Structure 1
Amino acid sequence: MTTSDPDGPLAEQLLRLTRRVHRIQKRHLQQRALGITPAQSRLLRTLAHYDSPPRMADLAERLEVVPRAVTTLVDALEASGKVRRVPDPSNRRVIRIDLTPEGREALRELHAARRSAAEEILAPLTDKQREVLGGLLDTLVDGGPGGADAGQMLS
């Protein structure tokens, strides 16, 4: 005898939604012809949050990927002129990753692409529905009651 999965239909809806969101974001990104993959986009957005150029190890930790994955992303972004490797002023053996002016411009375009994708995704919702959805997404992202700290304590 099999047990029914009460969250099965909800899980299916969630998977369909994430696939749809990904397709829409990818299309909006491709329309801008930046030649940037979603992973490269994530790295650029992460770089923008640092006050000073981070080390590759810092990026790998923040992105929750292996250092080799960051090296591959940085190689491609450096080849396209969006980032550059710079020596650490206090330890020349340490390499840091810095955004170039082209990288900052790409970030502006990425932001615009993400914004237009979000507008398309949210278009069918009323203001009230958007507010409710925002609260639900915060709960899912932050790990439920207690927020992000509680979710981190469990992992």
Structure 2
Amino acid sequence: MQATRALRRRWAQSLEPWALAPHEARALRVICESDGARLSDVAAHLRIAPRSATEVVDALQEKGLVERTPDPTDRRAVLAVPTESGHSLAEEIGAARAQVSRDFFARLEPGEWEHLTTLLRRLIAD
């Protein structure tokens, strides 16, 4: 748990140049990965209340990273769709997050890294 917290802290710090909170970055990733998502899907992925997802998407929209469009399959629903800026930022954030992870785990020798990976995969296997 301490290692996870330390990694999360470093990841949150890496978001500072973009003035994004971790939950906003996660929401942007969800929206970009599906190239548009209903607010209920964003809420489910982030494990938050739909009302909270609305607030997160509002913040992303204010920053010009997403826009709302009608869902073509259900005119009662709205999709949060990434803007070009949103896609670009999601890629930058993904690269920064990967670098934070590489730096964090760089203290391990290659054999230790492989052993840790094997153990963690065993723990999360269904």
The normalised TM-score by structure 2 is 0.89
- Residue 21 of structure 1 is matched in structure 2 by 7
Q: CA deviation at 1:76?
A: 0.2
- Residue 92 of structure 1 is matched in structure 2 by 75
Aligned partners of 2:66 and 2:122: how far apart in 1?
A: 34
- Is the counterpart of residue 119 in structure 1 residue 83 in structure 2? no
Q: Structure 1 regions of 5+ residues with no counterpart?
A: 1-13, 149-155
- Work out whether residues 28 and 114 of structure 1, in 8 Å CA contact, stay in contact via their aligned partners in 2: yes
Aligned partners of 2:3 and 2:12: how far apart in 1?
A: 14
The residue type equivalent to 2:23 in the other structure is: A
Q: CA deviation at 1:17?
A: 1.6
- Is the counterpart of residue 76 in structure 1 residue 64 in structure 2? no
- Residue 18 of structure 2 is matched in structure 1 by 34
Q: CA deviation at 1:89?
A: 2.3
Percent of paired sites with the same residue: 32
- Work out whether residues 38 and 80 of structure 2, in 8 Å CA contact, stay in contact via their aligned partners in 1: yes
Q: CA deviation at 1:131?
A: 1.1
* Segments of 4+ moved more than 3 angstroms: none
Q: Secondary structure in 1 aligned to 2:59?
A: helix
Q: Structure 2 regions of 5+ residues with no counterpart?
A: none
- Is the counterpart of residue 63 in structure 1 residue 49 in structure 2? no
- Residue 6 of structure 1 is matched in structure 2 by none
Query: Aligned residue pairs: how many?
Result: 126
Aligned partners of 2:49 and 2:4: how far apart in 1?
A: 24
Q: Secondary structure in 1 aligned to 2:114?
A: helix
Q: Alpha carbon RMSD of aligned pairs, Å?
A: 1.6
Q: Secondary structure in 1 aligned to 2:77?
A: strand
- Work out whether residues 74 and 83 of structure 1, in 8 Å CA contact, stay in contact via their aligned partners in 2: yes
- Residue 43 of structure 1 is matched in structure 2 by 27
